[in-house]
């Protein structure tokens, strides 16, 4: 039976302001956060390598693509924060939310260059902080995949991703704490999503939530930030991380495509509903309540303005790219159109269905792999 928004999200309207603000991080000063993991650990006694050639190919590629976050990045680079924020994708004169917030009587009416520059610093730190927390989520989830997936080729590959994710957490933490001004606590909406992914007992839901949704969004966001920034250390850090992330998302697509082809409509509907919930949670995470609070701005008013102006941000390349990797991957997995187009309709409601025909990550990774081979051949010729 199709669940309602109330059952999926805990609220009838995805844009319910009060429900969004009610989700808070009530233990920001705590260092440890525990989540119940309900999954069974799966051993397989079938050790025949290469039964799933595409996964085996990713595993072999991963083994020779490891990099050292401590020695392969130029940490002696002097980072100019003023230069970094000058390239931030924040334009007070064109962003519809900021324009609305600068009107008389609104929270940012008295802001000048000083306040907007500080906001850019905080927004940059907050964004990179949530990436760092998401990478730790990926670290834990991929360790869970090693534990729960029944195929030896998938266990082999996932073990390499555990190392990748540890490295990603390491480099984001070091960049934030030594080159910027420190990191933010985890956003409550992101934490709720990570908790749900860990809590689910089904191995494929870990793939779906992390490899397809969280990692897919991260890959898109990293690409956008890499395109904009001219800060050399951050640019190189993102390039290394993106090379891993494309492989991670491809791993999810390849694994789930085989499995989802065998599921019943009822089983697929559960996955569709979880995908929609994850999409909304990730959208909510980018309302950046923590930044407004730190800047001394009324959080309720700013979140309300963001929700009201969401439809006006369809031309915002950052907002668009967030879902540019997720929707085509969902289409490839058959999630959009099963059960009378349920997920297609939901993605239409939140204005992201337009990305369905963009290149999915499996195809994209194969193209990148071929380009890398061509470049290597040209260099040795």
Complete domains list, the chain, with CATH? 50-380 (1.10.620.20)
What is d(CA 368, CA 356) in angstroms, rounded to the nearest whole number? 20
pLDDT for 147 equals 96
Q: How far is CA 14 from the centre of its chain?
A: 19
Listed as own residue / partner, the contacts of 58-62 with beta carbons closer than 8 Å and 24 or more positions apart are: 58/157, 58/247, 58/250, 58/251, 58/254, 59/153, 59/156, 59/157, 59/160, 61/247, 61/369, 62/157, 62/160, 62/161, 62/164, 62/247
Instruction: Supply the angle between the helices 53-63 and 152-178 in degrees, to the nearest 10.
Output: 40
Which residues of the chain fall short of a pLDDT of 70?
1, 87, 310-321, 361-381
pLDDT for 5 equals 86
pLDDT for 369 equals 57
pLDDT for 139 equals 97
pLDDT for 374 equals 52
Q: How far is CA 263 from the centre of its chain?
A: 26
Instruction: Show the DSSP H helices in the chain as ranges.
Output: 5-9, 17-22, 53-63, 81-86, 96-101, 113-148, 152-178, 188-199, 203-206, 215-228, 232-260, 265-285, 289-294, 299-308, 317-321, 326-332, 338-349, 361-380
pLDDT for 13 equals 86
pLDDT for 379 equals 47
Evaluate whether 102 touches 109 at the Cβ level (below 8 Å).
yes
CA 351-354-357 angle, to 5 degrees, is: 150
């Amino acid at each position: 039976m199709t669940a309602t928004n109330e059952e999926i999200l805990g609220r009838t309207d995805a844009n319910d302001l009060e429900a969004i603000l009610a989700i808070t991080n009530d233990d920001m000063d705590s260092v440890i956060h525990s989540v119940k993991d309900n999954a069974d650990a799966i051993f397989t006694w079938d050790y025949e390598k290469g039964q799933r050639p595409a996964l085996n190919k990713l595993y072999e590629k991963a083994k020779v693509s490891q990099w050292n976050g401590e020695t392969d990045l130029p940490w002696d680079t002097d980072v100019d924060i003023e230069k970094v924020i000058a390239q931030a994708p924040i334009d007070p004169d064109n962003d519809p939310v900021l324009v609305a917030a600068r009107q008389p009587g609104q929270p940012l009416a008295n802001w000048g260059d000083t306040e907007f520059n500080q906001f850019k610093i905080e927004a940059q730190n907050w964004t990179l902080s949530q990436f760092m927390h998401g990478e730790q989520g990926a670290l834990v989830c991929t360790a869970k995949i090693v534990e729960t997936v029944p195929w030896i080729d998938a266990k082999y590959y996932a073990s390499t991703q555990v190392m990748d994710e540890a490295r990603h957490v390491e480099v984001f933490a070091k960049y934030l704490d030594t080159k910027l001004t420190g990191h933010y606590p985890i956003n409550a909406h992101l934490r709720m999503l990570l908790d749900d992914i860990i809590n689910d007992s089904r191995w494929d839901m870990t793939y779906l939530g992390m490899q397809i949704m969280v990692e897919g969004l991260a890959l898109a966001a990293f690409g956008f930030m890499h395109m904009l920034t001219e800060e050399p250390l951050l640019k190189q850090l993102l390039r290394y991380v993106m090379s891993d992330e494309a492989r991670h998302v491809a791993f999810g697509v390849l694994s789930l495509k085989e499995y989802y082809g065998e599921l019943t409509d009822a089983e697929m509907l559960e996955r569709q509903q979880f995908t929609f919930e994850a999409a909304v949670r990730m959208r909510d995470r980018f309302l950046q309540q923590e930044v407004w609070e730190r800047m001394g701005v009324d959080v309720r008013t700013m979140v309300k303005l963001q929700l009201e102006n969401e439809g006006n941000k369809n031309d915002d390349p950052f907002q668009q790219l967030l879902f540019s990797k997720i929707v085509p991957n969902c289409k490839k997995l058959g999630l959009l159109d099963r059960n009378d187009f349920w997920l297609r309709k939901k993605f239409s409601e939140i204005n992201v269905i337009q990305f369905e025909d963009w290149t999915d990550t499996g195809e994209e990774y194969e193209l990148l792999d071929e380009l890398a081979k061509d470049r290597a051949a040209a260099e040795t010729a």
